[in-house]
Amino acid sequence: TLPPIHADFYEMDQKLSVEDRTLQLKVRSFMEKEVQPIVNEYWLHDEFPFEIIPKLAQLNICGLTYEGYGCAGKSSLMEGIIASEMARTDSSVATFFGVQSGLAMGSIYHCGSEEQKEKWLPKMQKLEVIGAFGLTEPEVGSAVAGGLTTTAKKTPNGWILNGQKKWIGNATFSDIVIIWARDIDDDQVKGFIVQKDNPGFSVEKIKDKMALRIVQNGLITLKDCVVQETDRLQHANSFKDTAKVLQKTRAGVAWMAVGCARGAYENALAYTQKREQFGKPIASFQLIQNHLVEMLSNLTAMQTLVFRLSELQDSDQLKDEHASLAKVFCTLRTRDIVSKAREVMGGNGILLEYNVARFLADAEAIYSYEGTKEINSLIVGRSITGFSAFV
Ligand code: FAD
């Protein structure tokens, strides 16, 4: 008999309470039963499986770490575990959830007024209102901190927004989008809750992606789009406030990378135990075992790193450079793991039905979004050298 596949090699899950472990297994079961059977088909057709939303809502995990507004007030560690569990089956569904729970709800939770929180968060927590986060622009990606060209002008009739936002996850069907724009008068970045039926707001789907195909990314155009002061995030006064939201979600992306790597590793290991060549399972060959051990070593290093990252977050010690280092390390290692997973599966590794090709493709997007490897490395570089390479 073969040993069970055990991708939590250093037993990190032992650190969880019984209650948290139960929630983790509930999310795992949801992903395996509800998402796994349909995911390759949706990925292939570049569509989103809306039927999972009510079932996902029942798990009661949206806005998991926030206090009040129907949210569970749990630890960042648990939030990370859930991101990883989702990505272990599918990184697109994990991304949809991360945009909703982290980027969109997080912007309102961290930067909104009490009224704005009361108005949106309980419905977003139940996934009755879907949110998106519009920061990146067609011509401004890495340089968003100082370079946003989308403008906001205050007038007696409200704020007038003009510009474009590219790559905005969930935007094709979201009810609201948090739009980040530069205030023409004081040159500071401000955040706005823009509703989909707002005149002057339009979205075009970005088609033919080769990664995270289930995530519906949009190109948003804002043409004299009027937003009332009541929909301006009242505590977002500069890009520093935007960065506060991103610090937390970057930590979440590191956890997602762990899940993506774990899913690929588990599928690849199971395949090598079954697949026979030269009259033996390929898992019995030394070179294949070496690949598998390299994958597991990287995965284990990532798992221990993100656990510590969440401990720092839960004790309010998380700094930008902590989140950036984890995002760089985990997404880089994941790229390596998914590539090795494909390698040990030979030709079948590129077929969707063998469940590694999707991980291989999706890892590319996770590697680049929420700050590329270079940008997150420069954030760490600035903190260890004392010199900023950005300017
Ligand atoms: P660029 O900034 O053009 O960078 C191109 C290359 O140049 C990269 O390798 C980069 O590292 C490098 N580079 C740039 N500046 C430097 C420098 N100073 N030194 C060294 N190298 C440098 N954005 C949102 O606002 N909301 C979303 O929901 C969202 N979802 C996304 C989903 C997907 C699938 C993808 C692919 C992107 C998403 N994004 C979203 C945008 C994402 O955050 C950006 O793609 C990312 O920040 C990189 O920007 P860019 O693609 O414009 O690349």
User: Could you state, in chain order, the average pLDDT of each consecutive group of 10 residues for the chain (391 residues)?
Assistant: 93 95 98 98 98 98 98 97 98 98 98 98 98 98 95 98 98 98 98 96 98 98 98 97 95 98 98 98 98 98 98 97 98 98 98 97 98 97 95 68
**Residue of 372, 373, 382, 390 with the most ligand 1 atoms within 8 Å of its CB, for mutation:** 372
Distance CA 192, CA 172 (A): 18
Q: How far apart are CA 248 and CA 252, in angstroms?
A: 7
CA of 371 to the centre of ligand 1 (A): 6
- What 3-state class would DSSP assign to 90? coil
Pocket flag, ligand 1, residue 382 (CB < 6 Å): no
Q: How far apart are CA 232 and CA 241, in angstroms?
A: 13
CA of 369 to the centre of ligand 1 (A): 6
Ligand 1 center to 230 CA (angstroms): 31
Residue 370 CB less than 6 A away from ligand 1 = yes
Nearest CA to ligand 1 atom 36: 365
Ligand 1 centroid vs 107 CA: distance in angstroms?
20
As separate numbers, helices (DSSP H) first and strands (DSSP E) second, the chain gives: 13, 11
In the reported structure, the alpha carbon of residue 219 is separated from the centroid of ligand 1 by a whole-number distance in angstroms of 14
Among the listed residues 270, 381, 257, the one whose alpha carbon sits nearest the alpha carbon of residue 321:
381
Cβ of 214 less than 6 Å from ligand 1: no
191: three-class secondary structure by DSSP: strand
Q: How many other CB atoms are there within 10 angstroms of residue 10's CB atom?
A: 11
In angstroms, the Cα distances linking 342 to 4, 90, 332, 354, 360 are 21, 16, 16, 10, 7
In this prediction, residue 390 carries a pLDDT of: 81
Instruction: Report CA(78)–ligand 1 centroid distance (Å).
Output: 28
pLDDT at 345: 98
**Rounded to an integer, what distance in angstroms lies between the CA atom of residue 48 and that of residue 35?**
11
Residue 219 tokens read as 């190109």
Give me the residue label for tokens 């050298």: 385
What is the distance in A from the centroid of ligand 1 to the CA of 49?
Answer: 26
Establish whether residue 273 lines the binding site of ligand 1, counting it when its CB lies within 6 angstroms of any ligand atom: no
Substitution candidate for ligand 1 out of 46, 142, 206 with most atoms within 8 A of CB: 142
**Ligand 1 atom closest to 372 (CA):** 11
E-strand ranges in the chain read 67-68, 71-72, 131-134, 151-155, 158-169, 176-183, 189-195, 201-205, 217-227, 276-277, 280-281
Strand bridging mode 189-195 / 71-72:
unpaired
**Measured distance CA(155)–CA(36) in Å, rounded:** 50
pTM for this one? 0.98
The amino acid at 88: R
Kindly state if the Cβ of 96 falls inside 6 Å of ligand 1.
Answer: no
Nearest atom in ligand 1 to 132's CA: 28
Written as six digits, the tokens of 165 are: 């936002």
CA of 7 from ligand 1 middle (Å) equals 31
β-strand 189-195 against 280-281: which pairing, if any? unpaired
Q: Does residue 99's CB lie within 6 angstroms of at least one atom of ligand 1?
A: yes
Closest Cα to atom 46 of ligand 1: 369
Q: Is the CB of 136 under 6 A from ligand 1?
A: yes
- Ligand 1: which residue has its CA nearest to atom 52? 141
Residue 1 pLDDT: 86
